[in-house]
Each structure stands twice: as C-alpha cells, then as structure tokens.
Structure 1
Amino acid sequence: MGNIKKLEPVIAAQKFINKYFPNCDGALLAGSVVRGEATETSDLDIVIFDQTFSACYRESLIDFDWRVEVFVHNLNSYEVFFESDRKRARPSLPRMISEGIILKDSGVIGPIKSEAEKLLSNGPEKWSVETINTKRYFITDTLDDFIGSNDRAEEIFIANTLAELASEFVLRTNNRWIGASKWIVRSLKSYDVQFAAQFVEAFDTFYRNGSKHKLIKLMDDILLPYGGRLFNGFSLGKK
C-alpha cells in the first residue's frame, strides 16, 4: 500500500485501541481489510463498545500510518442503528459487527454479534404491493426520460438514477439488502453473480458507446414479473 511500510491491519487496530480506548468493553476490526478486499485507499473500520459513554459518535483519524474510521457505542446505542439500518435496508453497522474480528472483549461482543447476524439473516422488511407499484412507476418515468433524451449529458445522469432505482427494485423484491456506491455491485453479486454481470454490462455498454438497447431491455426484464412498465392509472395520495 504505497511506499510506506504499514503495520498489519490487526496490529495497527490493536495499537489504536490501546492508545485511544484502553478501557473499552469491546472492540472489533471490520471493513475491507477483514474481507480481504483492501486497496491502497482502504482504511481501518473499528467499532468500539464502552458502557461509560453516554452517546455514540463517529470519528475519522490518521494514526499508525492508517486512516481510521472509528464508530463508538455504549452497550445500547447500537440498537437504534440496527433498527434504522433494517428500515432503510442498508445494514452498515450490523454487517460491520457480524464480519468484524474481535480485538478486545470483556464479554459484551458475543450477544451483539448474535443480534447482528440474526438481523442480517432475516433480511429487510418485505415490500408491499403498493410499494412495488410505486417503485415500478418511478422506474418507468425515469426510463421514459432516458429513452426520449437526445442530450448526452442528461442521459448519463438519468442512467445513474436508473442504476440506483433498478438495483434497489431487484434486491428489495427478492428480500435482499441494498447498498450505495460500491455496495450496489456487491449487493447484486451477493444476490446473483450472473445477473450482476448482466446489469453492469448493460450500463457499461451505454456509458462506452451510447447504445441504449441493452439498458432498456434490462429495465423491461426487471419490471416484467411485476406487470411491466407502469404509467396509466397510477396515483399517489388520491382519496
């Protein structure tokens, strides 16, 4: 990772904890370094549990030649984030805790890890038919804008919106967790590697040469099992 000889992630994380949180009840190292996906720009994601803290917080630091993102919780504050992550279907904290390597534990980590793993296993809330139809409508509306646009700059950003809407639709209708940025692709691969490849290819083809055919077909294939495109007769808030 660059010209600087860094400490190994676990060693650096342990030193970080000893320096900044020597009296904490538990600590985990999570993120890309744990999954074996680290790059030159990867940081250390460290989760701290300390019952003496009255409130949780997040902080970014640089020490031991590493960028460090530290997420500090007491023994209850994490529950609010678990519920929030479950509702938004992006299990950031549960995933970190579930995959995290234990660096320190006074006996508090085991039950919290079990909660995280149970939440991840259960999946997000199931979408209602009404929600599915609403999402169908917004994909249709965005797709129509994409098909009708002759402005390359606008097309690029409409396609970006389609990627977010369509990935969310596929994952949520299949009771899967969603993601943002790099986690869109990771979440799609976790769901179906072959579909993820088709998804990426459709967008890559458009971004490379402006051809819309594969992307339009992908959207229609995604919507087809739920009734296809939706415009006529759709309403929100009508009584």
Structure 2
Amino acid sequence: MSVFLGLLAGLTVIAALFVVFVRTDAQSLANGLRLAGPVVAGVAGVVLMLLGRAGLGGMLISGALAWFASVRRATRATKSPSRRSTVRTAALEMELDHDTGALEGIVLAGRYEGSILTRMSEADLLGIYAELASDGESRQLLETYLDGRFPAWREDLKADAGHGKGIPPGSGAMTKEEAYKVLGLESGATPADVRKAHRRLMQRLHPDIGGSPFLAARINEAKDVLLSDHN
C-alpha cells in the first residue's frame, strides 16, 4: 500500500507540473523551470518517506527547501531593471522611470553644465531656469521637473499664474532614434510595442490626470514618428 501511495503521489505531481507547463507563458515558465529541481527533490523525499525511508526522505526534503530558497533569492537578485524613457533638449536630458514616475536629469549646457538635478537645491534649479529664458523647450522640461520636486516653486518665484503652461514649439523634427528613447523602447520595436508603451506612459502622464503637458506632447510625437510608416 505504501508503495502504491508513493507512486500515486509522484504521478500526481508530474501531472500537475505538465498542466502548469502547458498553460504558462514563456517568462513564467522560465522562472518555473528554475524551481523544477527543488520540486523534484522534494517529491522524491516524500515518496521515500512513504516507503519507510524516513531518514533519506527527510534529508531530501530539507535539501529541497534550502535549494528552493536559494533559487528564489537568485530570481529576485536578477530581476530585470525598470524601463526608462529619455527626453533631451538643447540644455537638459531627463530620464523617466516607468514604474515609479520619478524624473532624473542632467544639465547639458550653461553655467551648471554636468550637474545632476537631483543633487541641486531649489535655488540652483531656479538659477538654471533663469538662464533658459531664451530656450522655451528646455525651460518647459525643467518646469516639469520642478513641478514634481518643488510643487510651490512657481509661488516662490512669484510667476504669473498661467506662465509656462503652454507647449512651446519643438527644436525640430523628432528622429526615430529619439522617439524610441522617449518611449523607452529598443530600436526596431514593433507597432504593437509602440502603442503599448505610449498607452502605458499616457496613463501616468496625461495632463487630464495631473501629468506633464510637455512630456505628454513628446510621447504623442514619438508615437506618431514611429507609426508614420504604418498608417
């Protein structure tokens, strides 16, 4: 009877693994295969215990649990990095983290060239803002950053209530290379990937939900550039 129960348990687990294999997508399947070793060892341990080999079965189960924990740690450690979009103007370059919505940037020209925005004070950032009086596009991008980090900066600057809300003309036609960076995609992404990235970013950055008009305009432009050959 114990032999029969052991075989039945093993066959049940194998059947369950087969069902999971058939129904699982490629990424989840890859992660699952890493866990196959510990699962098999654990099943073998259970079968041995049912067959009266408690010592050996217990060792296998303990080893399987340790193996499983090791695989889980390795999976978390190798988690893919978050996707990012890059927007560049004459004086600034910004990166948007798709997962958190956080903006990071660097100054490309002027007195503060090479400075990282996250390391700068509000006073320094307003100094850059003053320098960009003749660069509407860079100024709009900096306004987006300031709005996120220092929500009251306009009041501090005593700016006009409607100042900077419009979308200034771009510095020129966006290239496909720039468009891929804006949407956080690799060169050669499919139209479906372009639409998916555009939809995901607009859900976070659309002006109607408090997002940035400037970034929303760049995201729309990037989608139009990349889909121009498919319309």
Q: Normalised by the shorter chain, which TM-score bucket? A: under 0.3
Report the structure, 1 or 2, having the larger helix content.
2
TM-score computed with the length of structure 1 as normaliser: 0.27
Q: Larger radius of gyration, structure 1 or 2?
A: 2
TM-score computed with the length of structure 2 as normaliser: 0.28
Relative CO higher for 1 or 2, CA cutoff 8 Å, sep ≥ 6?
1
Report the structure, 1 or 2, having the larger strand content.
1
